[in-house]
Amino acid sequence: MKFPSPVPLSWVAEFVGAKLLGDPHALATGINELHKVEPGDLAFVDHPKYYRTCIDSDASFIIINQETEYPEGKALLLVDEPFEAYLKLVRHFRPFRPATAEISPEAKIGKGTYVYPGATIGHNVEIGEDCMIYPNVTILDHCVIGNRVVIQAGTVIGSDAFYYNTRKTRDVWYRRMESCGRVVIEDDVEIGAGCTIDRGVTHDTRIGKGTKMDNMVHIGHDSVIGRNCLFAAQVGIAGAVHIEDGVVLWGQVGVSKTLTIGKEAVVLAQSGIPSSLAGGKVYFGYPAEEAGYKKKEIVWIKRIAELWDRVRKLEEK
């Protein structure tokens, strides 16, 4: 999330009650998760295991709970609970605002777009021209929809990320990281009924131009879907996944988090993807492997009982 304008680091430190180590005149331009940080961003870390990763990332300013070495040009903000400091900043810059109408008066809706009765459009939503938004669609705050987009009934765009800060020393182990990112849907995308697309935690979940989705597809937070992809029903994609252009995922394919599927890969129905796949190939099974190899493997597995019987008969001779 980018701030409306750059914020002095001294103000941030005072606001979250942090001890500032570094240039108090530096300006923070936003707050982001590690997989999305850019120079000028704030990031937070609350476990020694990740201190170095966070400090060596592109983030310029680190909210942290222990003083440690940091390179020139960066700064640390020391607090007891970095996660609480993160939440305080998110709530300040993206406060909860109750809905006052089914379609927010702040929403911008382009010429030729039709919104069915019963659809809900949140604050600061932008919808382009010639779109069709069917009944009971929910488009939550700050999401951006391009031109000629079709969203079928019951779909939710911009729900909070399934993303939690875990501390087993608390009574409640899992605390939700409040999402301040967006969903950006490019031109000519079609989304089926009952789909769910989570907003980014601090950045954007993006659906590329011309991509088509069947019913009951789920896209996790911060995932980036390329152009002209095709997803059949019940595909599930976890957070921070990068799917390149022209990828086809057939029904009930499951995609694990933080991986990449290469350009024009095809994954056959009911496959599971635990790690990145190269483009231009057809995959099947769990773990998903090239379909020709996987089908041969299944044939051999079916023959295990027969082969075992042969071995036993040979031993009896």
Distances from the Cα of 204 to the Cαs of 90, 112, 171, in angstroms? 15, 26, 32
The residues, ordered by sequence, that sit 6+ positions from 35 with a Cβ below 8 Å of its Cβ are 222, 240, 258
Give the number of domains in the chain.
Answer: 2
What pLDDT is recorded for position 295?
87
Percent of the chain with pLDDT over 90: 84
Listed residues 93, 116, 134: the one ending a domain: 93
| CB-count exposure of residue 30 (10 Å: 0-12, 13-18, 19+) | buried
| Sheet strands side by side (includes 224-225) | 108-109, 126-127, 144-145, 182-185, 204-207, 224-225, 242-243, 260-261
For residues 158 and 121, is the Cβ–Cβ distance under 8 A? Answer: no
As a whole number of angstroms, the distance between CA 94 and CA 141 comes to 10
Percent of the chain with pLDDT over 70: 100
Q: Please indicate, yes or no, if residue 70 is contained in any of the structural domains.
A: yes
In the chain, helix, strand, coil percent, each to 5? Answer: 20, 30, 50
Q: Please indicate, yes or no, if residue 20 is contained in any of the structural domains.
A: yes
Q: Do 113 and 252 fall into the same domain?
A: yes
Q: Do 83 and 120 fall into the same domain?
A: no
Q: Do 157 and 266 fall into the same domain?
A: yes
Residue 182 is part of a domain; what is its CATH number? 2.160.10.10
For 177-212, the pLDDT digits (tens) are 899 999 999 999 999 999 999 999 999 999 999 999
Q: Do 28 and 168 fall into the same domain?
A: no
Q: Which residues are catalytic?
A: 221
Which domain range does residue 9 map to? 2-93
Confidence of residue 316 (pLDDT cuts 50, 70, 90): confident
| CB-count exposure of residue 49 (10 Å: 0-12, 13-18, 19+) | exposed
What pLDDT is recorded for position 308?
83
Listed residues 93, 125, 160: the one ending a domain: 93
Q: Please indicate, yes or no, if residue 303 is contained in any of the structural domains.
A: no
Closest to 181 (Cα-Cα) out of 198, 163, 166, 164: 198
Q: Do 202 and 149 fall into the same domain?
A: yes
In 89-148, beta strands by DSSP E: 108-109, 114-115, 120-121, 126-127, 132-133, 138-139, 144-145
Q: Do 88 and 115 fall into the same domain?
A: no
Confidence of residue 235 (pLDDT cuts 50, 70, 90): very high
What pLDDT is recorded for position 54?
93
Residue 50 is part of a domain; what is its CATH number? 3.40.1390.10
Q: Do 181 and 230 fall into the same domain?
A: yes
Confidence of residue 214 (pLDDT cuts 50, 70, 90): very high
What pLDDT is recorded for position 227?
98
Q: Do 123 and 243 fall into the same domain?
A: yes
- Other beta carbons less than 10 A from residue 101's beta carbon: 9
Q: Please indicate, yes or no, if residue 81 is contained in any of the structural domains.
A: yes
Look up the pTM and report it. Answer: 0.91
Q: Do 29 and 114 fall into the same domain?
A: no
Residue ranges in 157-316 assigned as alpha helix (H): 291-302, 304-316
Beta partners for residue 272, in sequence order = 254
Confidence of residue 92 (pLDDT cuts 50, 70, 90): very high
Residue 47 token pair? 């476990």
Q: Do 257 and 115 fall into the same domain?
A: yes
What pLDDT is recorded for position 160?
95
Distance of CA 157 to the CA centre of its chain: 12
Task: Tell me the average pLDDT of the chain.
Answer: 94
Q: Do 138 and 276 fall into the same domain?
A: yes
Listed residues 35, 65, 93: the one ending a domain: 93
For 56-87, the pLDDT digits (tens) are 999 999 999 999 999 988 999 999 999 999 99
Checking if the pLDDT of 15 tops 90, the result is: yes
What pLDDT is recorded for position 284?
96
User: Contacts from 65-72 at CB under 8 Å and sequence distance 24+?
Assistant: 67/21, 70/21, 70/22
Checking if the pLDDT of 301 tops 90, the result is: no
The residues, ordered by sequence, that sit 6+ positions from 262 with a Cβ below 8 Å of its Cβ are 244, 247, 276, 277, 278, 279, 280
Confidence of residue 287 (pLDDT cuts 50, 70, 90): very high
Checking if the pLDDT of 272 tops 80, the result is: yes
Checking if the pLDDT of 299 tops 90, the result is: no
Q: Please indicate, yes or no, if residue 123 is contained in any of the structural domains.
A: yes
Confidence of residue 317 (pLDDT cuts 50, 70, 90): low
Q: Do 157 and 272 fall into the same domain?
A: yes
Which residue would you say has higher pLDDT here, 255 or 306? 255
Q: Please indicate, yes or no, if residue 101 is contained in any of the structural domains.
A: no
Q: Please indicate, yes or no, if residue 152 is contained in any of the structural domains.
A: yes
Q: Please indicate, yes or no, if residue 314 is contained in any of the structural domains.
A: no
Residue ranges in the chain assigned as alpha helix (H): 9-16, 51-55, 82-93, 291-302, 304-316
The residues, ordered by sequence, that sit 6+ positions from 191 with a Cβ below 8 Å of its Cβ are 149, 150, 151, 152, 155, 157, 185, 197, 207, 213, 217
